[in-house]
Amino acid sequence: MEDLEKLSLKNIDIKGHVIGKFSAFSICQEYTNDTDAVLEVTYTFPISATATVTGFTAKIGDKIIIGKVEAKEEAQKKYEKAMLKGDSAYMMTNDESNIFRMNIGKIAVGETVVVTVDYIDNFEIVDNQIRMLIPTLVPPRYKSDVTDKLAYAKNEIEYRGNVTIRLDKDLKIDDIASKTHSIKLENNTVSAKDIKLDKDFVLDVKLAAQSFSKGYYRKLPNGKKIVYLSFFPDIENDTKHAPKNYIFVVDISGSMGGYKLEQTKEAVLKCLKQLREGDKFNIIIFESRFELFSKEIMEFNTENFEKAKKYVKSIDARGGTEMFSALRAAIEQFGNEKIIFLFTDGDVGNEHEIAGYARQHIGKSSLFVFGIDSTVNKKGLQAIADAGRGKAEFIVRDEQIKEIIVRQFARVSLSNLFEISLISKSNKVTDKIEKQRALFNHEFYDVLVEVEAINDDFELQCVSETQSHSFVLQKDTFEPLELPLDKIYASEQIRRAEKYIETRPFDENKGYKEQIVEIAVAYQIDSKYTAFIAVNERDEKLTDIPALQDTVLESPTGWDMMKSRNVLFCMRSMPAMMSNDAYYCDAPDVMGSADDMECLPSPPPAKSYKRKSVTGAIQNIFKKSNDDDIEEIIKKIEACEEAINKNEPHDALFDEILEYIKTDIVPHPKRYAKLMSWAREKAQNVYDLIVKGLISHDF
């Protein structure tokens, strides 16, 4: 891949300063044009799921340009206008969840541009430990218009990354470790140099002293104050066991192949071992469709555990990631009060839709999430867990997961704390944002309030079915925070508006979107509907039309295994290995009713049929595709199938088909799944040859 040798992105530096549960980070991206043409460069990258982007600057030589936040459409106009005038422009947009896109417009030959993105973040402290997860890569996601367009390469990317994190000297640290990278600790600073950007950087900081409730504040220009309240509840658990219903929802899509699915199986079995007599359970596995282990919820006993164990060990990875229908079944079926555990790598592009549904329909149930991967979609999974009144945990490769399982089950024991209220006393509160929907024992419950003044203590009250609890933060203990707490508050205002949009998928939501833009522009922070834009007005104009260079991304770790799994299993059918005791459900339209989900015994292997109309197949299979070459490839597959059936020469024609699928279909999972599903049903001989051909070429 000779073109990779001239990629403009040369290096990425991530630097952070951690102050308790808060932090300030910067991402520096260095671009140098080593080609003989003026370039326009794009790069797609992630930022922490809980981050608030607060700054954007571009440095060209000694010239520094500070970017501003504007409505996305206005920023795009400024970017294009600058390009046409012969100037340069630098723009960053939030395209999807925590996926950002950098556009570096017009880099002169031999020129270097350094772009710096500043953000603030806050971490959870659980079991006296801070886990920092810094994403370095955007992995492919199912149903994502963004990642479907990205290019990946394995072991051919030259640019690397450095991570440096300075820990505040006041932090009482017992231990520091990373399960993902080799690190160096010196003078309270952790560093990892020259790392491949193929998995997230995870740092675990064990604190020596227990953390307790705390309050922070920052004065606003209008005289009001933003107060960040962190309550640390200490509740004595009721030792009496109340039987519960558990539903385990397991992602077995192609991206889960290899070590991820093996870790998932281990986690599910460890969860089952936590169940007690009187509990009931069921298992739902999903890919392009979902399957029920049992049509009815089952009593937990030795016999049923052994059946479930055998079933879990037999599953394999295949197909797409139709998470919505499986979660909807778990929420709507098996009673109104249950514990749902979701196991997935979270590689979906419709997490907002899923979170919106869970928020409206979870009722008295709770949804807990296990994210399995080193490049997990943390922001999406956290949103789903929060909407389901639960919590998300993330398991990295080769991690000991027993402690994580036990922690989730400890949360389950208090998942019936439904009534939670903040008592402001004599404090005049003008706005309040609760960051979580549920409260868990020995874990911080955070609330942001805007007040006229801090006149009194704050009290948190929570009520279960049998008792009430109260926790107080005394006003005299509040501390000023140097970091821009007002921007964190503004970011939470934006997230609140996004939750309104999530629960109204068919509305235009124009008013909410306009308010998001207003907040983002006023506080100069990121949002889905705005962009950071910086314009470099040049004395010597660059009048050439720039060559466009999309920066190729490093393939996620484990990519080779995932690709081969997708080739074998990314078809919309269930293999014969499934037990006859199991039940499968076609994934209905995502907004259909539960009545649409009819469960049937597992189907027999697919048969080969003749199709009457090429046009009909295109309309039915590629409804959303405008590609002119789709009709041509279908005709070629039909012609090749006919030649095989007639024992006529077909090698040259098949080589054309295979080459097209390798280069234009395999990189796009949705198109690949649809075409292979059609080929399996309509052209079985060609389908078999394609699978063999892809495997032999290490696809």
In this model, does residue 32 exceed pLDDT 90? yes
How confident is the model at residue 322, as a pLDDT? 87
How confident is the model at residue 238, as a pLDDT? 62
How confident is the model at residue 161, as a pLDDT? 95
* Nearest CA among 384, 461, 382, 380 for reference residue 420: 461
- Mean pLDDT over 264-269 rounds to 93
- Mean pLDDT over 89-94 rounds to 97
Cβ within 8 Å of residue 463, ≥6 positions away: 417, 418, 419, 420, 469
Decide which of 669 and 39 is more confident: 39
- Mean pLDDT over 428-445 rounds to 89
The H or E element containing residue 486 is helix 485-502
C-alpha 516, offset from chain centre? 21
CB 118 within 8 A of CB 50: no
* Percent over 90 (pLDDT), the chain: 50
**C-alpha–C-alpha distance, residues 270 and 343, integer Å:** 13
List, for residues 488-503, the tens digit of each pLDDT value. Answer: 999 999 999 998 888 7
With 0-12 CB in 10 A as exposed, 13-18 as middle and 19+ as buried, what is 433? middle
In this model, does residue 451 exceed pLDDT 80? yes
Looking at every residue in the chain, the average pLDDT score rounds to 84
How confident is the model at residue 41, as a pLDDT? 96
How confident is the model at residue 606, as a pLDDT? 34
Please give the angle made by the CA atoms of 668, 673 and 678, to the nearest 5 degrees: 130
Residue-wise DSSP of 53-107: EEEEEEEETTEEEE-EEEEHHHHHHHHHHHHHTT-EEEEEEEEETTEEEEEEEEE
How confident is the model at residue 105, as a pLDDT? 94
CB 93 within 8 A of CB 527: no
Cβ within 8 Å of residue 627, ≥6 positions away: none
Question: What tokens does 698 get?
Answer: 């290490």
List, for residues 528-553, the tens digit of each pLDDT value. Answer: 999 999 999 999 999 999 999 999 99
Helix axes 559-569, 684-696, angle to 10 degrees: 170
In this model, does residue 642 exceed pLDDT 60? yes
How confident is the model at residue 566, as a pLDDT? 41
Cβ within 8 Å of residue 69, ≥6 positions away: 520, 521, 524, 525, 526, 530, 531, 532
How confident is the model at residue 611, as a pLDDT? 36
- Mean pLDDT over 128-146 rounds to 84
How confident is the model at residue 583, as a pLDDT? 61
Q: What are the strands of the beta sheet with 125-126, ordered from one edge? A: 125-126, 129-134, 201-207, 173-177
Residue-wise DSSP of 433-468: EES-SS--TTB-EEEEEEES---S-EEEEEE-SS-E
- Mean pLDDT over 173-181 rounds to 91
* Nearest CA among 319, 416, 405, 397 for reference residue 369: 405
Q: How many residues does the chain have?
A: 699
In this model, does residue 232 exceed pLDDT 60? yes
How confident is the model at residue 600, as a pLDDT? 40
Flag the least confident range among 98-107, 455-464, 648-657, 675-684.
675-684
How confident is the model at residue 628, as a pLDDT? 54
**C-alpha–C-alpha distance, residues 451 and 606, integer Å:** 64
Residue linked to tokens 């100037």: 87
Q: What are phi and psi of 148, to 5 degrees?
A: -60, -25
Beta strands in 360-444 (DSSP E): 366-372, 392-395, 419-423, 429-434
DSSP-assigned letter for residue 256 = G
C-alpha 500, offset from chain centre? 20
Cβ within 8 Å of residue 155, ≥6 positions away: none
How confident is the model at residue 661, as a pLDDT? 84
CB 316 within 8 A of CB 581: no
- Mean pLDDT over 674-698 rounds to 74
Q: How far is CA 684 from CA 254, 611, 647, in A?
A: 21, 12, 15
Helix, strand and coil content of the chain, in percent to the nearest 5, comes to 30, 30, 40
Flag the least confident range among 20-24, 354-358, 624-628.
624-628
State which of 81-95, 125-139, 663-677 shows the largest mean pLDDT: 81-95
Give, rounded to a whole angstrom, the gap between the first and last alpha carbons of the chain: 17
How confident is the model at residue 387, as a pLDDT? 92
How confident is the model at residue 454, as a pLDDT? 95
**C-alpha–C-alpha distance, residues 25 and 356, integer Å:** 30
Flag the least confident range among 179-193, 355-369, 588-602.
588-602
How confident is the model at residue 417, as a pLDDT? 60
Question: What tokens does 374 get?
Answer: 């080193």
**C-alpha–C-alpha distance, residues 474 and 456, integer Å:** 7
CB 459 within 8 A of CB 420: no
Q: What are phi and psi of 325, to 5 degrees?
A: -65, -40
Domain ranges in the chain are 218-235+417-522, 245-412, 607-699
Question: What tokens does 267 get?
Answer: 């986690």
For the domain with range 245-412, which CATH number is right: 3.60.15.10, 3.40.50.410, 3.40.1080.10, 1.10.530.10? 3.40.50.410
Question: Taking the model in full, what pTM does it have?
Answer: 0.76
In this model, does residue 400 exceed pLDDT 80? no
- Mean pLDDT over 568-580 rounds to 36
Question: What tokens does 520 get?
Answer: 């983002």
- Mean pLDDT over 8-12 rounds to 95
In this model, does residue 568 exceed pLDDT 60? no
- Mean pLDDT over 299-305 rounds to 96
The H or E element containing residue 271 is helix 259-274
How confident is the model at residue 415, as a pLDDT? 56
Residue linked to tokens 């090749």: 640
- Mean pLDDT over 622-634 rounds to 62
How confident is the model at residue 581, as a pLDDT? 53
How confident is the model at residue 320, as a pLDDT? 80
DSSP-assigned letter for residue 650 = -
In this model, does residue 67 exceed pLDDT 90? yes
- Count of other CB atoms within 10 angstroms of residue 627: 12
**C-alpha–C-alpha distance, residues 380 and 389, integer Å:** 15
CB burial readout 34-66, b (16+ within 10 A) else e = ebeebbbbbbbbbbbbbbbbbbbbbebeeeebe
- Mean pLDDT over 224-238 rounds to 86
How confident is the model at residue 260, as a pLDDT? 86
CB 202 within 8 A of CB 396: yes
61 phi-psi bin (left φ>0, alpha ψ -120 to 50, beta other): left
* Percent over 70 (pLDDT), the chain: 85
- Name the β-bridge partners of 394: 371
In this model, does residue 638 exceed pLDDT 70? yes
**C-alpha–C-alpha distance, residues 151 and 138, integer Å:** 11
